[in-house]
Amino acid sequence: MEFIIITGLSGAGKSVAVKNMEDFGYYCVDNIPPALLTVFYELCEKSSDSKMKKVAIVIDVRAGDGFEELFDAADKLSSDQKTYKILFLDAKDDVLLRRFRETRRKHPLTDVCSGSVEKAVQIERKYLERVKIKADYTIDTSSLSPAQLKERMSILFLESKSSGMTVTCMSFGFKHGIPAEADLVFDVRCLPNPFYIPELKYHTGLESCVFDYVMQFEQSKGLAERIFSLIDYSIPLYLAEGKSQLVIAIGCTGGKHRSVTLARVLHQHILKSGQHTVIYHRDVNKAGK
């Protein structure tokens, strides 16, 4: 049985995430009390309904003081050798505040923070530190549209068929911010930039003209080889630690040329090693440099 616990910051996209999971064929329940987690798991496990074999539930601070019971319930599942994964949705504080202002939604903790949304976000982040550490998957939605979040989730829950670790090769632009979920970050802004070549400026690393331009240089090949060496050494160590997701983020200025090219090169290298890997270009379609 696939059993996914969705949690994270209020305003980070949990409602969108659970709708996506429904689209992916999961049986979904929003805002289940943590005290019922083990009971609900057993009911799903014993059910003869095939729909109950892929389940996603949302547990968050709306549970109030009962949220703390999530940790005991999760430990109980683990001790009983019941498999589950935790997806944690995160976003930057200023993004969360803007979303609450725009939607005029009430933060679940504003009543205990004298109506201050800013203080509520800070308290919630502190409150969720323990569960974020335990999360198998973390997605920072700060710069993601609902469609991009769905794409990111589809990579994790539709393309991933392995029960082991999934390595995500992610390209990004530093001007749009470093991905918060990244485990390893490589800066490739030291490589020759196709942006300054008029005939390449409006193309991307997904196209052969840009890809070939970037990879023709010895410094590009040399940097790639050194990244390969570190990744080849690191992956077995992460596997030994039982990690479910390894996010390798490769960044250039705008996330369109050099980072996309190197992410593609790294993705192909990891594929050849037999490790399950997916690729995601976060900023390739964004406007600007």
Q: Which domains does the chain have, with CATH numbers?
A: 2-157 (3.40.50.300), 166-281 (no CATH)
The per-residue pLDDT string of the chain (289 residues; one tens digit each, 9 = 90 and over) reads 899 999 999 999 999 999 999 999 999 999 999 999 999 999 999 998 888 899 999 999 999 889 999 999 999 999 999 999 999 999 999 999 999 988 888 899 988 888 899 999 999 999 999 999 999 999 999 988 898 899 889 888 886 555 568 899 999 999 999 998 899 999 999 999 999 999 999 999 999 999 999 999 999 999 999 999 999 999 999 988 878 889 999 999 999 999 999 999 999 999 999 888 999 999 998 876 5
Map the chain to HEC letters. CEEEEEEECCCCCHHHHHHHHHHCCCEEECCCCHHHHHHHHHHHHHCCCHHHHEEEEECCHHHHHHHHHHHHHHHHHHHCCCCCEEEEEECCHHHHHHHHHHHCCCCCCHHHHCCCHHHHHHHHHHHCHHHHHHCCEEEECCCCCHHHHHHHHHHHHCCCCCCCCEEEEEEEEHHHCCCCCCCEEEECCCCCCHHHCCCCCCCCCCCHHHHHHHHCCHHHHHHHHHHHHHHHHHHHHHHHCCCCEEEEEEEECCCCCHHHHHHHHHHHHHHHHCCCEEEEECCCCCCCC
